A and B are shown apart, each in its own frame.
Chain A
Amino acid sequence: MLPILSLIVLIPLVFAALTLLTKTKEQARLMALVATVSVLILTLYMYLNFDSTTAAHQFEELYQWVPSLGITYHVGVDGIAMPLILLNAIVLPFLVLFTWNDERKSPNKFYALILGTEAAVIGVFTALDFFLFYVFWELTLIPLFFMVSIWGGPNKHHASIKFFIYTHVASLVMLLGIFGLYFAAWDMTGTPTLDIPTLLAQFQLIESALLKDMIFLALLFGFIVKIPSFPFHSWQPDAYTEAPTAGSVLFVMLKIGGYGLFKIMLPMLPFTGSPNMMITIMAVLGSVSIIYGAFLALSQKDLKRMVAYSSVSHMGYVLLGAAGLVSLSVSGAMFQQFSHGLIMSVMFMSCGIINNKTGTRIMNDLGGLAQKMPKLAVIMVLTFMASLGLPGLSGFIAEVSVLAGSFGNLPAYVIIALVAIVITGAYHLWALQRTMFGVFDKKLGTITDINRYQTLSMGVIAILILYFGLNPSAVLDMMLTNSEQIASMMAVMGV
């Protein structure tokens, strides 16, 4: 059988190297398009052949790598990883198209970094060995760091360094957690292994409750900084805002924190020394992120910064849903990651276009853009509605599942989150009103609508938001299979 998972990591990686060697923008963007489209085709093939009735890993590949340390090359996907790979594979070709006619310095490096990020992020989703997982995890840092520090906004150096140090320190703490798990299991069984499924199964055999809690918290810290969640979110608005549009979209594709939560944290949770404390931590951080992010978004003057804070708020649902521990809330949280990726990428593209055309993102200086850019207005209104949770669009499904699912176990936190829904509605509508509608300010000069590449890429993603809103089971089925497995384990352990 075709080693399809290796291919979807290897293709972007090899093309990234080839793209670096290109001389012109035309060559570079073509390379990037070829690579991302091939990944999309392979991923669609995998998606169509994916069995969503089983929670087991599919398309597995396993080779020995460093036997003396138990390191293997082990990849595979399940219902948690598959939708996220699909998300990346869908958005990336359209991201390349979106930037098709942009003028920028060093286009070869630019497209190479996009491909490098794609390879690393997909690599994290496919890795079933902690060594491989950590390698890809760290690898996501490097292209994004350069993305911000080369093509970023005025504060790019501050933002890129902050992002790098913040998340690198978090990764190192996560690495300590991995080491703890690795050695505790090694001591018990006498054979070293870094295989993720094996180690997750062996976690429950560790005797010391304190050690188990330490391991869990170290890993959790690594993941929630990446998500990011309150109080470790402060790198995110800076990085998202200062990054170029493509960089912001890539950041949104970086769903590895939430992925780790479902893939690694939840299977470990019932076996920790104090599962109730862990649930409380996740629920508190999730609900505080939801409401705090919403208030911060409400107070922003800069459109892109507002979108960035809204992302903090939306990612809070992921944590809250995970802490809900029933299959409805967990699958809702997984769906939130997927849907949020689609919605945010269009929102950041809109911010980028507005900034390019008008030279500002300060909402009070804008207004009436819908008259000049009707196509953008349609797409932007649709995605803003999806983001605030309008029924029929993908955001609604996710948030309702999370809130309804979590209510049984965590009613107090859900009620807190419900308050935020009002604020969420408010800042989205207010932002639309201040930018797209109202009186057009003549000082902004002549403004043209989005070009056809931009229309195509944003339009297709917007249609997908609608599609997944009407037909969520296209990805929700596979998520449900895995969430049910997680939930039944919780029920067995009485958590």
Chain B
Amino acid sequence: MAENLMLFAPELTLVLTGLFVLMVGLFLPTGAKKVLGYLASIGILVALSLTVSSLGTEGMAFNDTLSVDALSQFFKIVFLVVALIVSIASIKYTEGNSHTEEFYALSIFATIGMMFVASANDIMVLFVAFELASLATYALAGFEKKNQKSLEAALKYFIIGSLSAAMLLFGISFIYGLTGTTSIPGIAANITALSTSPMGIVAVVLMLAGFGFKIALVPFHMWAPDTYQGAPSVVSALLAAGSKKMGIVAAFKIFIVALIALQAEWQIAFAILAVVTMTYGNVVALKQTSVKRMLAYSSLAQAGYISMAFVVLTPLALGGGILYALSHGFMKAGAFIVTAAVAYMVLSDNKDSEDTDHIDNFKGLGVRMPITALSMTIFVFALAGIPLTAGYMSKFVLFSSTIQSGFAWLAVIAILNSAISLYYYAKIVKYMYFLPTDLEKVSEPLPYVAALLIAVAGVFAIGFWPEPFIHWAMEAAMVLIPGGM
């Protein structure tokens, strides 16, 4: 048992950190709550280093309901990195807020939920962990209690999220009813009960809709732009970069491990969803004037790319999708942190201003906040897939695997989509560097700068030295399809 617990040392560290932050926060005056941010960041950093140092260990725990393997480790690192970036940036965001401890506790609990989803080997454990992360993020989205947009974002997210959870649960009930087990490998073993019954299709459709909401695939995406735009930027970073990846790893486990026998049914659905999502996301992003909303639509497009992995289903494609998830974590978290820094800048110009995410606020950012602007340039170019960045490397692996498996048409659509996306990404760069502003230079808050630099380092690390990352991603992919199909 003790050995089992050691497998989950990172999660336990986070649980203790979360509770500790919550407790300590009760006794601190508002002015001193800044220390909570440092505490939370240190806790996450410890959990991250524990995870990294235990790379390669494998094991099952708690009656085989949780498993630690290359896949779970990889996604845990994604979640922890995103959580670290978000929590460092939030040191500035939560400054002077009397609810700081709740913010940190909730974001840590959300991260724990995501990590357990990555480890889940049982469909019920997966659902519970999924809900832990979801509930925490519902509350985080509405963190700005006096801000109508934030509340609207939280409410939309909550209602649609609950609906999708209900669908998920409904789907799970069919799977359990037909196969008689909730264990993911058990379902795969008893899959004939499901594949021979017409209810199998119903279960697949329900699961697809449930995960579609979380990953924000078109047509299940309606909540995402409003929520990403309305929620505080640091929370949007957590949602887009972290929570979305949770949906992906859960879908990997359910579809590719448990329901692989029903491949014919869901593969074509994912093909359609991927194409529609990436095209819709990119085209709608073109005309957005809110940067956060633009990032939300670009996030849709990126989810569309990752979904290609479900269609191609080779180790290389899954490795590409998994690598993409990590890259996207860095790029998207970074980009949302930039919007947080810009919002800070706009509010320090005029504390009553609304629409802090309007693209006009990015005018002359290259002069006003040089580090932030340069980081944003790197993030958007990486998202567009410019060479020597993480985005390019992941696209290279993912798109090329698509061609390799004979889905050239899908790769062509994806590549054309990348070309379109460059237009709106370049627009942000144009505003930052080419449009003049008469406002003065702003000193950039250290926490934002630190968070941005971590994300930039990640983007370049994967871009310049992809070999170890590809290796880990491929190992993770091998967990999903051990034989290599």
Residues of A within 8 A of B (CB): 65-69, 134-135, 138-139, 142, 149-150, 164-165, 168-169, 172, 175-176, 179-180, 182-183, 186-187
What are 30 A-B residue pairs whose CB atoms fall within 8 Å in the complex? A66-B467, A66-B470, A68-B470, A68-B471, A68-B474, A69-B396, A69-B397, A69-B466, A135-B387, A135-B388, A138-B386, A138-B387, A142-B386, A149-B434, A164-B422, A165-B419, A168-B422, A169-B419, A172-B416, A172-B418, A175-B415, A176-B403, A176-B411, A176-B412, A176-B415, A179-B399, A179-B400, A179-B411, A186-B404, A187-B404
Cross-chain contact A150 with B387 (CB below 8 angstroms): no
- Given the complex of chains A and B, what is the CA–CA distance between A172 and B399 in angstroms? 12
Q: Which residues of A contact B423 (CB under 8 A)?
A: 165
Known: A69-B396, A135-B388, A179-B403. 20 other contacts (CB 8 A): A65-B467, A68-B471, A68-B474, A135-B387, A138-B386, A139-B387, A164-B422, A165-B419, A168-B419, A168-B422, A169-B419, A172-B415, A172-B419, A176-B408, A176-B412, A176-B415, A179-B400, A180-B408, A182-B400, A183-B403
Interface size of B by Cβ–Cβ distance < 8 Å?
Answer: 26
- Give complex CA distance A138, B403 in Å: 21
A187–B400 CA distance with the chains assembled, in angstroms? 13
Residues of A within 8 A of B400 (CB): 179, 182-183
Q: Chain B nearest CB: distance from A41 CB in Å? A: 28
Query: What's the minimum C-beta distance from A165 to chain B, rounded to whole angstroms?
Result: 7
With A68-B474, A149-B434 known as contacts, the answer to whether A180 contacts B403 (CB < 8 A) is yes
Nearest CB of A to B391, in Å:
13
CA–CA, A73 to B419, complex, Å? 26
Which positions 412-436 of chain B face chain A at CB distance < 8 Å?
412, 415-416, 418-419, 422-423, 426, 430, 434
Cβ distance B70 to chain A, nearest Cβ, rounded Å: 15
Please give the distance in Å from B251's CB to the nearest CB on chain A. Answer: 26
Question: Which residues of chain B have C-beta atoms less than 8 A from A182's C-beta?
Answer: 400
Tell me the smallest distance from the CB of A132 to a CB of chain B, in Å: 9
Cα A156 to Cα B104 in complex, Å, equals 48
With a cutoff of 8 Å between Cβ atoms, the chain A residues found around residue B412 in the complex are: 176
Once bound together, how far apart are the Cα atoms of A66 and B394, in whole Å?
13
CA distance A135 to B388 in the complex (A): 7
In whole angstroms, what is the CA distance A142 to B408 when docked?
A: 28
List residues of chain A with CB within 8 A of the CB of B416. Answer: 169, 172
Q: Inside 8 A of B434's CB, which chain A residues have their CB?
A: 149-150
Chain B 453-472: CB-based contact to A (< 8 A → 1; otherwise 0): 00000000000001100110
- Roughly how many angstroms separate A68 CA and B400 CA in the complex, as a whole number? 13
- Report the Cα distance A179→B430, complex, angstroms: 31
Q: Which residues of B contact A138 (CB under 8 A)?
A: 386-387
Q: Which residues of A contact B403 (CB under 8 A)?
A: 176, 179-180, 183
Among B388, B412, B419, B434, which residue has the most Cβ atoms of chain A within 10 A? B419
What residues on A are CB-neighbors of B430 within 8 Å? 149
Q: Which of A68, A149, A150 has the most CB of B within 10 A?
A: A68
Q: Which residue of A lies closest to B406 (CB)?
A: A183
Q: How far is the CB of B409 from chain A (nearest CB, A)?
A: 11
Q: Which residue of B lies closest to A214 (CB)?
A: B408
Q: How far is the CA of A164 from the CA of B423 in the complex (A)?
A: 10
A139-B387, A183-B404, A186-B404 are contacts. A66–B399 as well, Cβ < 8 Å? Answer: no
Q: Which residues on the B side are within 8 Å of A164 (C-beta)?
A: 422, 426
0/1 interface trace, chain B 216-239, chain A, CB 8 Å (1 if under): 000000000000000000000000
Query: B422 to chain A: which residues have CB within 8 Å?
Result: 164, 168
State A175–B470 Cα separation when bound (angstroms): 20
Contacts of A135 on B, CB cut-off 8 Å? 387-388
Indicate the member of A164, A179, A186, A187 with the most B CB atoms within 10 Å.
Answer: A179
In the bound assembly, the distance between CA atoms of A304 and B134 in angstroms comes to: 61
Q: Report the Cα distance A169→B408, complex, angstroms.
A: 16
Cβ contacts under 8 Å, A169 to chain B = 416, 419
How many angstroms between the C-alpha atoms of A288 and B156 in the bound complex?
A: 59
Shortest distance from the beta carbon of A228 to any chain B beta carbon, whole Å: 18
Question: Which residues from chain A contact B404 at a C-beta distance below 8 Å?
Answer: 183, 186-187
Minimum distance in angstroms from B118 CB to a CB of chain A:
24
A179 to B403, CA, bound (A): 7
Query: Measured between alpha carbons, how far is A183 from B387 in the docked complex, in Å?
Result: 20
Residues from chain B with Cβ under 8 Å of A176 in the complex: 403, 408, 411-412, 415
Chain B nearest CB, measured from A48 CB (Å):
33
Look across to chain A and name the residue whose beta carbon is closest to the beta carbon of B403.
Answer: A179
Q: A172: which B residues are within 8 A, CB to CB?
A: 415-416, 418-419
Instruction: Give the CA-CA distance A5 to B176 in the complex, in Å.
Output: 63
Return the contact of B387 from the options A67, A69, A134, A180 (Cβ within 8 A): A134
**Chain B residues with CB under 8 A of A183:** 400, 403-404
A187 proximity list for chain B (CB < 8 A): 404
Q: How far is the CB of A252 from chain B (nearest CB, A)?
A: 24
CB distance from B286 to the nearest CB of A (A): 13
Bound-state CA distance A54–B215 (Å) is 57
Residues of A near B471 (CB, < 8 A) are: 68
Top 10 A-B pairs ranked by shortest CB distance? A135-B387, A183-B404, A179-B403, A66-B467, A172-B415, A179-B400, A138-B387, A169-B419, A66-B466, A68-B470
Closest Cβ of chain B: how far from A482's Cβ, in Å?
28
A16 CB to closest chain B CB (Å) equals 15
Cα distance, A139 to B416, chains bound together (Å): 19
**CA–CA, A69 to B392, complex, Å?**
14
Do A69 and B418 touch across chains, with their CB atoms under 8 A apart? no
Which residue of chain A lies nearest to B463 when distances are taken between CB atoms in the complex? A135
Taken together as a complex, chains A and B put the C-alpha atoms of A68 and B466 apart, in Å, by: 10
Cα A212 to Cα B388 in complex, Å, equals 29
B303-340 contacts to A (CB < 8 Å): none
Cα A66 to Cα B422 in complex, Å, equals 26
Q: How far is the CA of A129 from the CA of B381 in the complex (A)?
A: 23
CB of A174 to closest CB in B, whole Å: 11
Tell me the minimal C-beta distance from B139 to chain A in angstroms.
42
- Given the complex of chains A and B, what is the CA–CA distance between A176 and B419 in angstroms? 13
Minimum C-beta distance from B92 to chain A (A): 27
**Which chain A residues lie closer than 8 Å to B419 at the CB level?**
165, 168-169, 172
Q: Which of B353-402 contact A (CB under 8 A)?
A: 386-388, 396-397, 399-400
Contacts of A69 in B (CB 8 A): 396-397, 466, 470
Residues of A with C-beta under 8 A to B387: 134-135, 138-139
Interface centre among B404, B423, B470, B474 (most CB of A within 10 A): B404
